[in-house]
């Protein structure tokens, strides 16, 4: 069981560590020390929910209804492009964060809404988390699949909380507006690239 748990943890982490829209948002929230816990918790719980759905076989339904993925894909493209525009606008007027202070920009509701949109409007989350993880988990038998799923969910919790709170170590670097400009330009470019890949995919 321990081997299955570790296999789930490793597989889960390997699928979410890539730089993407969700991770970029969590990183920015962490640097700003702004609603880090709630945002990390939402992302982790969303992953756990999707992993559970995959283990229950929901991925088969998603696979058989491509129109669902199409709707999510184009919604995701629109949202990512809007978020990219906002990031690039912030780059024109960057923030400076004094060490030891938290950001006061977005409300908790706005932060959670953005995190949820970046999670559920990304069709790759359904392909990777629901279909792929679900199919791998189900190869471990009736009992083992849930142990694998718990391991994968633990990987998500470890990653998002580690990313969010670990980003605080970068706060001194982001005391300068130039650093925020670079970060927001990178976030904007990442969002545009992901939106382009979704639109072309």
- Rg, the chain, Cα only: 18
Any idea how long the chain is?
201
Output the average pLDDT for the chain.
82
pLDDT digits (tens, 9 = 90+) for 64-106: 666 766 776 788 788 778 878 888 887 887 665 554 455 556 7
145-169 pLDDT, tens per residue? 899 999 999 999 999 999 999 998 8
pTM here is 0.76
For residues 143 and 145, what is the distance between their CA atoms, to the nearest angstrom? 6
Q: Are 176 and 188 in contact (CB under 8 A)?
A: no
pLDDT at 61: 63
């Amino acid at each position: 069981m321990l081997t299955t748990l570790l296999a789930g943890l490793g597989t889960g982490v390997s699928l979410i560590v890539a730089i993407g829209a969700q991770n970029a948002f969590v990183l920015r929230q962490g640097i700003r020390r702004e609603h880090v816990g709630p945002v990390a918790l939402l992302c982790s719980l969303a992953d756990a929910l999707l992993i559970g759905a995959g283990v229950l076989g929901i991925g088969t339904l998603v696979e058989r209804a491509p129109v669902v993925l199409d709707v999510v894909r184009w919604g995701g493209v629109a949202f990512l492009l809007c978020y990219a525009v906002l990031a690039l606008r912030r780059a024109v007027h960057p923030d400076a964060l004094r060490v030891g202070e938290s950001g006061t920009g977005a409300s908790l509701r706005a932060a959670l809404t953005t995190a949820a949109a970046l999670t559920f409007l990304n069709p790759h989350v359904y392909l990777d988390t629901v279909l792929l993880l679900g199919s791998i988990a189900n190869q471990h038998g009736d009992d083992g699949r849930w142990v694998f799923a718990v391991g994968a969910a633990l990987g998500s919790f470890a990653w998002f909380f580690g990313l969010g709170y670990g980003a605080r170590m970068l706060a001194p670097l982001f005391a300068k507006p130039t650093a925020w400009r670079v970060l927001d330009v990178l976030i904007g470019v990442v969002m545009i690239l992901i939106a382009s890949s979704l639109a072309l995919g």
